[in-house]
Amino acid sequence: MGKVPNILIYGYGNPGRQDDGLGIFLSEKIDNWIKEENIQSVKVDYNYQLNVEDALEIADKNLVIFIDASQEEIKDYCLTKVKPSDRLEYTSHSVSPSYLLNLCKVIYDKTPDIYLLHIKGYKWEFLEEMTENAKKNLGKAYDFLKEFIINNKNSVINTS
């Protein structure tokens, strides 16, 4: 029997809107790498957007990395620590990682370490083709995330 995954990689976005699919594309790519390397401590999931039900998914994890495309002024990608928030925003991604962390804490009395990997996107039209610059950023974020997983896959992280 394999090791129970204690790390969750969760990408979200819309692959039918050009660079908005970066979170899903990176999740798929990292999932293939995890399977090739037979890394059993990591689980990968992805969806168009986060949902309140995802609080249950993260409750038993030590480390969660959400991945999303970003319209913010960042270089290629950046990783930020997520802090709990009870604020629910009404946007295309109506449930944020910080809101999920708050739900996890309130409902399950768990506070896993959660990060958001932002990948710089450029265009958001209803087309399936990513921009060339977004593809480059995806490659850089992929290399970073592989290294991050390797460095954290066996660590025991405090979940209280």
Beta partners for 153? none
Q: Are 37 and 86 in contact (CB under 8 A)?
A: no
> Domain limits at 118?
7-152
pTM of the full structure? 0.91
Q: Has residue 157 been placed in a domain?
A: no
Number of domains in the chain: 1
Please compute the mean of the pLDDT values over residues 81-104 and round it to a whole number: 82
Q: Has residue 139 been placed in a domain?
A: yes
Beta partners for 9? 44, 65
147-150 LR contacts (CB < 8 Å, sep 24+): 148/65, 148/79, 149/7, 149/9, 149/30, 149/34, 149/39, 149/42
Q: Has residue 2 been placed in a domain?
A: no
Q: Has residue 160 been placed in a domain?
A: no
Q: Return the percentage of the chain with pLDDT > 70, whole number.
A: 89
Please give the residue that has the higher pLDDT: either 18 or 40: 18
Q: Are 77 and 140 in contact (CB under 8 A)?
A: yes
Crossing angle (nearest 10°) for helices 132-152 and 22-37: 40
Q: Give the tens place of pLDDT for each residue, 100-114.
A: 999 999 999 999 999
Q: Has residue 52 been placed in a domain?
A: yes
Beta strands in 74-136 (DSSP E): 77-81, 113-120
Q: Has residue 158 been placed in a domain?
A: no
Q: Has residue 159 been placed in a domain?
A: no
Please give the residue that has the higher pLDDT: either 154 or 130: 130
Mean pLDDT of the chain: 90
Q: Has residue 1 been placed in a domain?
A: no
Map residue 52 onto helix, strand or coil: coil
Q: What is the CATH number of the domain that holds 58?
A: 3.40.50.1450
- Looking at residue 31, its pLDDT comes to 98
